[in-house]
Amino acid sequence: MKKITREEIVQTACALFQQKGFDAVSLDEVCRECGISKPTFYNYIPSKEAILTDYYDRVCQDIMLHFGSIYQMNTYYEQFCLFYDMIIDSSIQLGAALISKMLSLNLQKDAHSFETREHLTEIVIHLIEKGQRAGEFTADISATDLYDAVNFVFLGLELKWAVKQGQIDWKGEFHRITDGLLQVREKEARHGTDL
């Protein structure tokens, strides 16, 4: 058997899932495509389902690797937008069918896919606090409560996007609603343009 990384297995499996659908791809097919045995697969990943249920952990790790680009943005508002844009873009790249499957798997048994990641939570709460102190966000609510509300918006829109098979502007709706929640100062607002 060839030497392989966990990430290579995940990428290969996700490509197969996107091409054929999660339920149509067997674990045998994933192993065959990766050139590994089932025991090798299980050394890296506990189950086929874990490839999806652990998806946001991989997205969060990727964001941490690219956090320098977020901090280079000129305003706290732009940093906030880029942070969530990276998560939304990753989800859109995975596709509505696989996001639906991930939601379904978590409804059957909570795999903690949609829980906030502590290290990112602290960073974003701090970013919101700094935005409030700088006057970019004028909502008179604690940064922690704002962060919770933003994440409920994110999850609600993710569910709606999956149900509508990707036929809503998830990113645009997210920023429209969170601009209102944060009470983004008018000059900071995106006005429908990408950063």
Please, which pLDDT band fits residue 194 given cuts at 50, 70 and 90?
Answer: very low
Please, which pLDDT band fits residue 108 given cuts at 50, 70 and 90?
Answer: confident
Cα angle value 15/21/24 (rounded, 5°): 110
Q: Residue 174's closest CA among 122, 139, 115, 184?
A: 184
Contact 116, 87 (CB under 8 A): no
- Alpha carbons within 13 angstroms on the beta-carbon side of residue 63 total 27
Superfamily of domain 6-50: Homeodomain-like (1.10.10.60)
Residue with tokens 């890296």: 44
pTM attached to this predicted model: 0.83
- The H or E element containing residue 151 is helix 143-163
Neighbours of 82 (CB within 10 A): 19
The CATH 1.10.10.60 portion of the chain extends over: 6-50
Residue 2 has pLDDT above 80, yes or no: no
Please, which pLDDT band fits residue 187 given cuts at 50, 70 and 90?
Answer: low
Q: pLDDT tens digit string along 121-170?
A: 898 999 999 999 999 999 999 999 999 999 999 999 999 999 999 999 99
Please give the pLDDT value at position 59: 77
Report whether CATH 1.10.357.10 matches the domain 54-188. Answer: yes
Q: pLDDT tens digit string along 3-53?
A: 889 889 998 999 999 999 999 999 999 999 999 999 999 999 999 988 887
Please, which pLDDT band fits residue 195 given cuts at 50, 70 and 90?
Answer: very low
The CATH 1.10.357.10 portion of the chain extends over: 54-188
